[in-house]
Amino acid sequence: MFEARSPPTVPPGRIRLNDTAQAAEPVRSVTERTGLTQGLIAVLQRPVDANDRARAALHLVDWLGCAAAGATTPPGEALRRFLPELAQGPCRSILGGSLSVRDAVLVDGSVGNVLEMDDFHRAAIVHPGPVVVPVAWALGQHLDATTGEVLTAIVRGFEAMIRIGRCVGPSHYRFFHNTATCGVFGAAAAAGSLLGLDTRMLADALGNAGTQASGLWQCRLEDTMSKQLHNGRAAQSGLLAAQLARCGFSGAHQILEGPLGFFKAMCADGQPGRLLDSPDAAWLIHETSFKPWPACRHTHATIDCALALRDQLGEPTCIRSIEVASYRDAVEVCDRLTPVTPVQAKFSLQHASAVVLTRGRPTLADFELPAADTAELASLRAKVRLVEDPALTLAYPARFGARMRVELEGGQVFEHQFSDALGDPERPIDRDALIDKAQTLLVHSGRDAAKAQRVVFTCLDAQDNDPWREVCQTLD
């Protein structure tokens, strides 16, 4: 824990923790008389308290573990080879070395989602941490911010990203990666918080962030690294939009609701009216789920069902058939009988079921080759039948449920259902388990156990006024 000290001098245009223009009237009345973009800004200008910042610190260390381990994967290695092309600067990168703030955000934002263990918001179908946290991590260093300012920025970035994400609708998710398209707004909001943007500047930032929203799902159908670029570019583009806004570079102030704006252009069956639901409610970071398993979130409730049944079944060779019932997106996105790459294995309900019923709690290695490509797993995958459950589809995306039915060769039938996945608010992971996850991933990245523990607890124990740059130094 650092010694408390006086906060540093505020750079021009920067606003201290919780001094951000708190609306002069209640948020609800502001949102009722303004457009969607201005209403969102009013929501973002609410104060953030110590409990909210403590929650943000958990998401910070969760991202640190995921990103550090992600940096050891092929996408991480490719990005590491790219480092000599980037500008040097004061910001410590997860991949090593010190970079300019925009380049640090690009590469660090590109590795947090590789392992599919990053945080997730169900209703929005977004992963806020891999986009928002790297912006706060790097920009906090660049500005000599305090820890409290960085955590406050994370809370606000999550809010913008989640509120927009839960409005976009199924047709958007069919073609677009929500984490990328909605993440650019979250990145701009987080950067705007740290830069102390006023209401007009933040509208400019959101406008220029939204015009850069992108991320097509074709990458999910091929063996590519594009999904990681989605996250890195969303983070970098949102940061750039906020930095430009601070310099007077204008952007569309109706980027969300305008006739040629985000919702009209990209969300045919979206629900824009939901954007400002419950504007005075608790910050949505508290609704964000943590992921215990290294696979697509659509597989997690199925993994939980398999774990619940495994001890009752005996040897996997005794299994005659496995039926996995889940909501439509889970069945459509994760129907891969024969995955041939680690990414495909992570997006396979058949593989996830076979791994857990055969080996128990899934690990990173279970989704890597050659561990994912064995005759035993292939035999069991072939026994898995996927079906859509209309009731689970109706509950989605508010609930990510699944049901597993296993029949043995002797005719015995075992069944289990979860309406929510482990790590969702209804089935939370406790703080100690999250700490263990982060430390385990940091060790996986090559750091020793003592250093991993020091990194995690420095982030969790830092006080609001502690210089953020000193917190980041523990990663070295």
Q: In this structure, are strands 98-99 and 88-92 parallel, antiparallel, or unpaired?
A: antiparallel
Strands of 319-326's sheet in order across: 384-388, 319-326, 402-408, 413-418
Domains for the chain: give ranges and CATH numbers: 27-292+432-473 (1.10.4100.10), 297-418 (3.30.1330.120)
User: Rounded to whole angstroms, how far apart are CA atoms 174 and 152?
Assistant: 32
pLDDT given at position 18: 42
The pLDDT of residue 30 is: 53
The per-residue pLDDT for 20 is 43
User: Distance from CA of residue 244 to its chain's centroid?
Assistant: 25
Burial pattern 201-219, b for ≥16 Cβ within 10 A else e, equals bbbbbbbbbbbbbebebeb
Is residue 322 within 8 Å of 385, Cβ to Cβ? yes
Q: What is the pLDDT of residue 444?
A: 95
State how beta strands 384-388 and 319-326 pair.
Answer: parallel
| Interatomic CA distance for residues 115 and 42, integer angstroms | 35
Phi, psi of 176 (to 5 degrees): -115, 145
Q: How far apart are CA 322 and CA 329, in angstroms?
A: 19
pLDDT of residue 220: 87
- Biggest alpha carbon distance in the chain? 75
The answer to pTM > 0.85 is yes
* pLDDT attached to residue 314: 83
Asked whether the beta carbons of 384 and 354 are under 8 A apart, the reply is: yes
State residue 31's pLDDT score. Answer: 55
Q: Which residues of 334-359 are buried (b: 16+ CB within 10 A; e: fewer)?
A: bebeebebbbbbbbbbbbbbbbbbbb
Alpha carbon distance 145, 168 (integer Å): 33
CA distance 222 to 218: 7
pLDDT along the chain (476 residues), means of 10: 32 40 52 82 97 98 97 96 96 95 98 96 97 98 98 98 97 97 98 98 98 96 94 98 98 97 97 96 98 96 97 91 97 95 94 97 91 90 98 96 97 97 96 96 96 96 96 90
